[in-house]
Structures are given as structure tokens and as C-alpha cells.
């Protein structure tokens, strides 16, 4: 069985066909045969696999057990919920992420912040319906922006938002990290110790946290200002869809923007003019795709050639006897 590298479906997307991608794939093909990643990774498709540039496909524990040659799962992105990375470590397999999209998501957040303040979606809807009214819109200058989560993306948003808020505007942040007070001060922000303060005092709240647990419920939404907006460039499941749909209909807030498609639990939002869904595209631009390609190509190449890859999600794997046999000492 020849060695194989499995590739995420994004590599079939012609919109992101670049010289950098073609060159990188040609180099990978010198290391192993290239095949497309199946919808799920199980023991049935483990033979000969030495590396995977993975999408969000579920990786079953049986895949790790059966893939005797496997060295690395390189996530084309940062979401790792489906990787079973702890089980990967037990089998001596690296799981890496590619944090190359912070600028991209930060720019998306700023764009949606501006679009919601300026009521761009409402004006477009009205105009296409033959209503050419002048409506009330708002300025960022002097407003209050709340960031729920203050990791790398939240900090990138803060850097871009602070000049737009002006001297009278406020940047509020909520995060459970122990250094949040000091970190917030570095960005000219105010840390709050209760997320309800964020919802109650902000004109716009933007979510920048990992995970799939609901953190925004009906009570949070009812605390918001009626003219306010909620932006969710992270994960759709962070917000209870029934609650936000109800809150918008009751005019407890004005807009909800979520970077997820209108399907599954978000199908309830279909055709709602003030609930904006964007196909989980916030972190993907031509530029970020090139960075993601180059990062994942490098991670897979390093693991196959016996070097420690960057951005290891399961560092315990470095102590695994199997890894010690193929990893070159530096």
C-alpha cells in the first residue's frame, strides 16, 4: 500500500486555485500520493495514510488505531472539535491547527459592525422593495462595542475598533482568562466580570470564543438595547437560535449576524431581513487561504520528514515512544 496524504475538500474549490497552492501540492505529491478526504475518517480509509490536511470531518477513534503510518492531522483552520486529538496523542499522532485567519475574521467583524450601525441590510431591503425612506442610522464614534472573548481574534478586533470608537467611545471585553484586566488595559479596553454587563451596556456585541455550548440565551438578548446588534463570527451554536429569532421579532435587538449558513437549526432564520447569515466564510479570503495552505503544507511536510510541526494541539504526543522514534532531535 503506497503512502497517502488526504486533502480537505477546500482543495477542490477552484475559487482558491493559486500558484502557491499548486506548487505546494506538487511538493506534497513527492512525499506521498494525494487523495481527497472522505466525509468521515474511519478504520475503513486508514490504510497507508501518513498525513491528513483535515476539514471539519469527524475523525473516529478507530481511524487512529488502524492508521499505523499516520503521523499528523493538520487542521486547515483552528476548529478541532471533531479531531479527537487526545486519542490521537495516545496513538502517537500530531494534531495541529493553523491560526492564520485572525486578521480575516477581525476585518469581517469590523465590516459587520459598520454595516449594522449604518443599517446597510435594512436600506438594501427597503430599496429593493420600492421603499426609498431615509431611516435612522448610527456612528461608531462615541458608541460602545462589547467583545465576548479576548483571545487573538478579539485582540485583533480591538486594535481595529479602538480608533473608530473615538475618544468618547468605549470598548468593553469579557473573558475568563486570569490576566484579562491587564490585557484589556493594554488595548484601551475595560474588562467586565459579568457578561450581562456586556449585553446591557454595549450598542454592539461581538462573540469571539471557541466551543459549541450556548452562551447567549434569551435573557442575554433581552438585556440588549433595542437598536443594538449581535455579531457572531465564531460558532452558530453559541447563540440559541430560537431565542435570537424571537428577540429580533420582539425588537429587543435590531440585527443578528452569524457566520453560518441558513440550514439545520439556523433554517428558522430563512428570509428574515434582520438576521444575516454568511456561510461560515468569515475566516476565508484569498489571502488567508494561501496562508492556510502554506501552513498546513509545512506542518505535514515537517511531520513526515521527522521535524516537529508548528501549532501542536496535543503536546503530550511528544512523549509518545512512536513519535520519539521518527522525530529528529534538534
Residue 226 gets the label, from left (phi > 0), alpha (psi -120 to 50) or beta, of alpha
* HSE value, Cβ hemisphere, 13 Å, CA-based, for 106: 19
> What does CATH list as the number for 4-100+285-326?
3.40.50.720
Q: Report CA 219 to chain centroid distance, whole Å.
A: 25
Q: How many CB atoms lie within 10 A of CB 188?
A: 15
Contacts with 66 (C-beta within 8 Å, 6 or more apart), sequence order = 43, 46, 47
Question: How far is residue 193's CA from residue 269's CA, in Å, rounded to a whole number?
Answer: 31
What is the reported pLDDT for 329? 64
The answer to whether residues 173 and 184 touch, using CB atoms and an 8 Å cutoff, is: yes
Query: Which letter does DSSP use for residue 279 in this model?
Result: T
Question: How far is residue 118's CA from residue 45's CA, in Å, rounded to a whole number?
Answer: 50
**pTM score, two decimals?**
0.91
Mean pLDDT by 10 residues, the chain (330 residues): 93 96 98 96 96 94 96 94 95 96 96 98 97 97 98 97 98 97 98 98 96 94 98 96 97 97 95 96 96 98 97 97 85
Cell of 56: 471539519
The answer to whether residues 141 and 167 touch, using CB atoms and an 8 Å cutoff, is: no
SS3 assignment, position 54: strand
Contacts with 319 (C-beta within 8 Å, 6 or more apart), sequence order = none
What is the reported pLDDT for 139? 98
Rg (CA), the chain: 22
Q: How many CB atoms lie within 10 A of CB 38?
A: 12
With respect to CATH, is domain 102-277 assigned 3.40.190.10? no
Helices (H), the chain: 19-29, 61-66, 85-90, 102-117, 120-128, 152-165, 180-186, 195-201, 218-222, 241-249, 286-304, 321-326
Question: How far is residue 112's CA from residue 298's CA, in Å, rounded to a whole number?
Answer: 33
Residues of the chain with CATH 3.40.50.720: 4-100+285-326, 102-277
Q: What is the DSSP string of 113-128?
A: HHHHHTTHHHHHHHHH
Amino acid at each position: 500500500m503506497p503512502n497517502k496524504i488526504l486533502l480537505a475538500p477546500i482543495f477542490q474549490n477552484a475559487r482558491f486555485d493559486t500558484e502557491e497552492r499548486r506548487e505546494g501540492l506538487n511538493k506534497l505529491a513527492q512525499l506521498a500520493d494525494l487523495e481527497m478526504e472522505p466525509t468521515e475518517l474511519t478504520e475503513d480509509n486508514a490504510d497507508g495514510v501518513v498525513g491528513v490536511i483535515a476539514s471539519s470531518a469527524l475523525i473516529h477513534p478507530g481511524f487512529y488505531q488502524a492508521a499505523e503510518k499516520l503521523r499528523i492531522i493538520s487542521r486547515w483552520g483552528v476548529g478541532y472539535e471533531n479531531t479527537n486529538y487526545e486519542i490521537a496523542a495516545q496513538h502517537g499522532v500530531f494534531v495541529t491547527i493553523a491560526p492564520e485567519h485572525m486578521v480575516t475574521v477581525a476585518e469581517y467583524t469590523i465590516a459587520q459592525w459598520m454595516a449594522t450601525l449604518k443599517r446597510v441590510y435594512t436600506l438594501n431591503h427597503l430599496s429593493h422593495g420600492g421603499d426609498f425612506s431615509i431611516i435612522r442610522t448610527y456612528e461608531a464614534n462615541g458608541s460602545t462595542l462589547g467583545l465576548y472573548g479576548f483571545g487573538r481574534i478579539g485582540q485583533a478586533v480591538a486594535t481595529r475598533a479602538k480608533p473608530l470608537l473615538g475618544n468618547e467611545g468605549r470598548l468593553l471585553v469579557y473573558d475568563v482568562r486570569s490576566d484579562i484586566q491587564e490585557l484589556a488595559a493594554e488595548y484601551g479596553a475595560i474588562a467586565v466580570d459579568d457578561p450581562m454587563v456586556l449585553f446591557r451596556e454595549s450598542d454592539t456585541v461581538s462573540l469571539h470564543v471557541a466551543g459549541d455550548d450556548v452562551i447567549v440565551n434569551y435573557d442575554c438578548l433581552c438585556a440588549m438595547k433595542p437598536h443594538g446588534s449581535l455579531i457572531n463570527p465564531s460558532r452558530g451554536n453559541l447563540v440559541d437560535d430560537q431565542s435570537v429569532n424571537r428577540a429580533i421579532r420582539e425588537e429587543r435587538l435590531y440585527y443578528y449576524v452569524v457566520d453560518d449558513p441558513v440550514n439545520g437549526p439556523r433554517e428558522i432564520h430563512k428570509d428574515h431581513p434582520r438576521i444575516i447569515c454568511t456561510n461560515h466564510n468569515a475566516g476565508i479570503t484569498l489571502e488567508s487561504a494561501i496562508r492556510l495552505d502554506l501552513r498546513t503544507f509545512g506542518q505535514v511536510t515537517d511531520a513526515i520528514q521527522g521535524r516537529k510541526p508548528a501549532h501542536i494541539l496535543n503536546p503530550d504526543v511528544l512523549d509518545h515512544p512512536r513519535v520519539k522514534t521518527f522525530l529528529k532531535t534538534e
